[in-house]
Amino acid sequence: MSADEGALPDEGLSLWLTDYRMDVGEPWEGRRLVALVGQSAAGSLDFHVHPDGQAVRVWMLEVYPGFQRRGLASVLMDALYAAYPTAWINHGTRSRDDARWWNGYRDPHPRRNVHNRPPGEWAAYFDAVEVASDKAQLVHRNDHDGLDGHRDAVYRYGERGEQEADGYLPLYRPVRAAMLNPAAQPLHGATRLFLPPRLHTHVHDESQDAASRAEALLQHLGHDNLPRTRWYATRQQAFEDAHHEEVFQNRGSTQGGHACGVHAEPTGRGLSSLPHRDVRARGLHPCRRRHPRRAGRDVLA
């Protein structure tokens, strides 16, 4: 934490490692670490994880207005290191504000930072020439802004590293993106509904049969007329996506958002042979309002 950062908030800080999916053309799995103060999103750290879990690429670190300069950026980065205790971390480049923050941040495991180690140790995960280019940009920014940038820890700080990096390119092993296939696997989605008060009460009445509550939702929506949703390989990911939307929209309603799950069964046919609307929702599952730290407990079968 830098010297000019204030104390952490008193409202109750919690961290949520989500399965939120980022669509940025990256074949590695996108994850988001969210800092919550009370029920409000205070900051987030977006990153990508290699399929074997041994390499992480930082995408974006952001603390939202009203929560800045209180140490949350450092808490989020520390949590990322803790969540992947043996993984290589590639921080990429940084904006001017990010560079100033990094200058005051204490890296908990500098030997896992790819900028600090020879390319031969991590070149199977990251393009060594790209990393060398990122480092050169950081050196230029640090020199321009008069920052140290932890230069003593950086491998060959300020030296031209492109030629050395070029020799390690054959070690790089790109990853092919894993695609969801509705013809071969069950898919799960979730959407948030804002229900009339009486229907909301009925759907959340656990003394009623779950099937009848799901039927009431379908009657309200109209059969075969479910809202558009994003699809996931697991139900947990689907409901976390819906909760993520609720947290970041911050509607402030105590009785509005109601998550319902949509389950699509595979047809067994190739994608090219699927007629329009052939893959449909086969089940609708009402659930209670979920808390992000109580994953997997609020779905009614």
Report CA dihedral (277, 278, 283, 285) to the nearest 10 degrees.
-30
What is the mean predicted confidence (pLDDT) over 47-63? Answer: 95
What would the pLDDT profile of 75-119 be if each residue is shown by its tens digit? 999 999 999 999 999 999 999 999 999 999 999 999 999 999 999
Measured in whole angstroms, how far is the alpha carbon of residue 202 from the centre of its chain?
Answer: 33
Q: Binning pLDDT at 50, 70 and 90, where does residue 213 land?
A: confident
pLDDT of residue 251: 36
Q: Which amino acid appears at position 93 of this protein?
A: T
Query: SS3 letters for 206-246?
Result: CCCCHHHHHHHHHHHHCCCCCCCCCCECCHHHHHHHHHHHH
Looking at the DSSP assignment, which residues form a beta bridge with residue 192? 259
pLDDT of residue 1: 38
Structural domains in the chain, CATH included, are 13-171 (3.40.630), 187-286 (no CATH)
* Distance (Å, whole) CA 207 – CA 219: 20
Q: Is the pLDDT of residue 299 over 70?
A: no
Are the C-beta atoms of 238 and 232 separated by less than 8 Å? yes
| φ, ψ dihedrals at 78, nearest 5° | -60, -40
| 234 vs 9 pLDDT, higher one | 234
CA atoms within 13 A on the CB side of 222: 3
Q: Which amino acid appears at position 150 of this protein?
A: H
pLDDT of residue 236: 80
* Distance (Å, whole) CA 94 – CA 99: 6
What would the pLDDT profile of 154-189 be if each residue is shown by its tens digit? 999 999 888 999 999 999 999 987 777 777 888 887
pLDDT of residue 292: 37
Beta-carbon contacts of 71 under 8 Å, excluding residues fewer than 6 positions away, are 1, 5, 6, 7, 8
Are the C-beta atoms of 15 and 26 separated by less than 8 Å? no
Measured in whole angstroms, how far is the alpha carbon of residue 125 from the centre of its chain?
Answer: 20
Q: Is the pLDDT of residue 255 over 80?
A: no
Q: Which tokens belong to 71?
A: 């140490």
